[in-house]
Amino acid sequence: MELYSLTIHEIAKKIKSKEVTIREVLDSVYSRIDNLESKVNAYINLTREYAYITADKLQKRLDLGEDIGFLGGVPIAIKDNMCMKDVKTTCGSKMLENFVSPYDATVIERLESLGAIILGKTNMDEFAMGSSTESSYFKKTVNPWDITKVPGGSSGGSSVVVSCDMAFASLGSDTGGSIRQPASYCSTVGLKPTYGLVSRFGLVAFASSLDQIGPFTKDVTDMAIMLNAIVGHDDKDTTSVNLDKKDYTKSLINDAKNMTIGIPREFLKEGLNPDVKEAFDNSINKLVELGAKVIDINLEYIKYSLATYYIIATAEASSNLGRYDGIKYGYRTDKFDNLLDIYTKSRTEGFGEEVKRRIMLGTYVLSSGYYDAYYKKAQKVRTLIINDFKKVFEQCDVIALPTAPNTAFKLGEKSSNPLEMYLEDIYTVPVNIAGLPGISVPCGFDSSNMPIGLQFISSAFEENKLLQLAYTYEQNTEFHKMKPNI
């Protein structure tokens, strides 16, 4: 069995027991990358040299009997919107094509302090705006299950590398579904933590009140391990919470008997692909078999989530992306006659279509005369959605939904109509609006053998419930063992 195909918990053990050296693990993963990268285009940038230097340092310490951390020697990939010191952080954009960050994101500091080795930065939709990774300036990542199809987005690269064993785990970011949807499209486990659980310091901001960093892993056990690694208060992020640290591996219990699962049947009535519906129904039946109780729940305002999202997210994004102005760093146009030119040309040339569209939309909803009708109104509807969820969680432990209404679509299929693309986020967006945690686990395949994801949502800070239910489901199914034939 190839080393690269193992899970974190398996490889970490082998490294610690010295059954394998860290170098051997890296060799295995990098040769896998070298083999597949030209087919899937998942990495923007590999940090090979740095990885090997780190590996040698860790090995030395390990050989001396030191504790190198519970992720000691484990190679991990990072979505390219998280700043990494002395490494290019491009956000998939021409605007930051050559930007070298002088500092590390807090999550990277944490991972490295626990012994993880960063393999490289993965491809993404430009500035995390998209659901297919097609808007990346650099390359088009493809779905390893069918290379004519998209991997999902915006964290497409991060999902693909885990799906293809080109990393043991990866980090992505999720603002409206950008971890969960690509996880479901590529058959990986993806989790968006409760807003505030993971530090955003160093995550290039898209929508400040919605963004969260989360892991992609091969199984739920690894997910618990990764959460242990990245969760925790950060003084540098005032939106990060200060709670007692949980050990998420304690939630890896194979037992659904005391779980009540709520399903918003009304919401699932329209727009759901029949194969996805079938896989979803089967999953629920499985969980019932395993002892879970299922009830119907009603989320009155959930259907307004997409509208609310596109107002709030674009408004915040329009402000967050103002700093990309051609003045201090990043792309600057080379032909200009005045200051307005520097700004306008740099931004017009440096940003792609989707980014420009969202900036304009965000500017519009915040502009004088429209602020109350759009932005303020959306913030009020947000309150309604949050309260909706709070009420529902009084009746159930977890909400279950398909992660996405469809499986992966063909490259180019939805590029011409942004609205169509946005509708792919319909089941994931409400979770970000409410700041809740959500996990996607593989739960089947459609008639073209494309992966389908099952999503669980819990109340704030109850990732333990998500992990328990997901673990139970996983341990009683075989979907997580399937790998793409690439």
Partner 1 sequence: MSISREEIKHIANLSRINVLDSELDKYAETLSNIVDMANEISKLNTDDVKPTAHILESVNVFRKDEVKPSYSREKILANAPTKESGCISLPKVVE
Partner 2 sequence: MEDKIKEYEVVIGIEAHAELATKTKIYCNCSTEYGADPNTHCCPICTGMPGVLPVLNEKVVEYAVKMGLATDCEIAKFSKQDRKNYFYPDLPKAFQTSQFDLPLCINGHVDIFVDGVKKTIGITRIHIEEDAGKLIHDEFTGSTLVDMNRCAVPLIEIVSEPDIRNAAETIEYMQTIKGILEYLEVCDCKMQEGSLRCDVNLSVRKWGAPNFGTRTETKNLNSFKSIQKSIEFEIRRQIEELENGGTIYQETRRFDDNLGTGYAMRTKEDAHDYRYFEEPDLAPIVLSDEYVNNIKNNLPEMPNVRRARYMEQYMLSEYDATQITNSKRLANYFDKTVSLCNNPKAVTNWIMGDFSKMLNELNLEINDSKIVEENLANLIKLIDTNVISSAMAKKVFIEMFETGKDAKVIVDEKGLVQLTDESAILKIVEEVVNSNDQSVSDYLAGKDKAIGFLVGQIMKLSKGKANPTTVNELLLKILEAKK
Q: Does residue 32 contact residue 166 with C-beta atoms inside 8 Å?
A: yes
Burial profile 400-427: b = 16 or more Cβ within 10 angstroms, e = fewer: bbbbbbbbbbebebbbeebeebbbbbbb
By CB under 8 A, how many residues form the interface with partner 2?
Answer: 42
Show the binding pattern over residues 65-84: x = contacts partner 2 (CB under 8 A), - = does not.
----------------xxx-
Stretch of residues binding partner 2 (CB under 8 A), selected from 26-34, 112-120, 195-203, 383-391: 195-203
Catalytic residue among 178, 184, 283, 458: 178
Pairing of strands 169-174, 75-79: parallel
Give bridge partners of residue 438 from the DSSP assignment: 192, 457
> Closest by alpha carbon to 55, among 70, 72, 67?
72
Q: Which of residues 209-248 bind partner 2 (CB under 8 A)?
A: 209, 235-239
Residues 422, 322: Cα–Cα separation, whole Å? 23
Q: Answer yes or no whether residue 193 interacts with partner 1 by CB under 8 A.
A: no
Of 101, 132, 136, 154, which one is the catalytic site residue?
154
- Could you say which of partner 2, partner 1, none residue 351 binds, taking C-beta under 5 to 8 angstroms by partner kind? partner 1
Residue 152 · residue 140 · CB < 8 Å:
no
Q: Which of 215, 267, 277 is nearest to 437 (CA)?
A: 215
Q: Is 447 an annotated catalytic residue? A: no
Query: Applying CB under 8 A, which of residues 35, 57, 63, 103 lies at the interface with partner 2?
Result: 103
CA dist., res. 124 & res. 417, Å (int): 19
Identify which of residues 127 and 479 has a Cβ nearer to partner 2 in the complex: 127
Binding region for partner 2 (CB under 8 A) out of 94-102, 222-230, 409-417, 451-459:
94-102
Cα angle at 314 between 335 and 233, to 5 degrees?
105
The interface region with partner 1, picked from 65-73, 75-83, 344-352, 401-409 by CB under 8 A, is 344-352
Q: Using CA atoms, how far apart are residues 364 and 371, in angstroms rounded to an integer? A: 8
Q: Any residues with CB less than 8 A from the CB of 319 and at least 6 apart, and which?
A: 362, 366
* Contact between 342 and partner 1 per CB under 8 A: yes
Among 21, 208, 333, 415, binds partner 2 (CB under 8 A): 208
Residues near partner 1 (CB under 8 A), total: 65
Whether 154 is catalytic = yes
Calpha distance 409→273 (Å, rounded): 12
Residue of the chain from 248, 351, 389, 473 that contacts partner 1 (CB under 8 A): 351
Active site residue 319: no
Interacting residue ranges for partner 1, rule: CB under 8 A? 98-100, 102, 195-196, 209, 235, 238-239, 241, 301, 304, 306-308, 310-311, 318, 325-330, 332, 336-345, 347-348, 351, 356-357, 359-361, 363-365, 367, 373-374, 376-384, 386, 418-419, 422, 434-435
Residues with catalytic function: 79, 154, 178
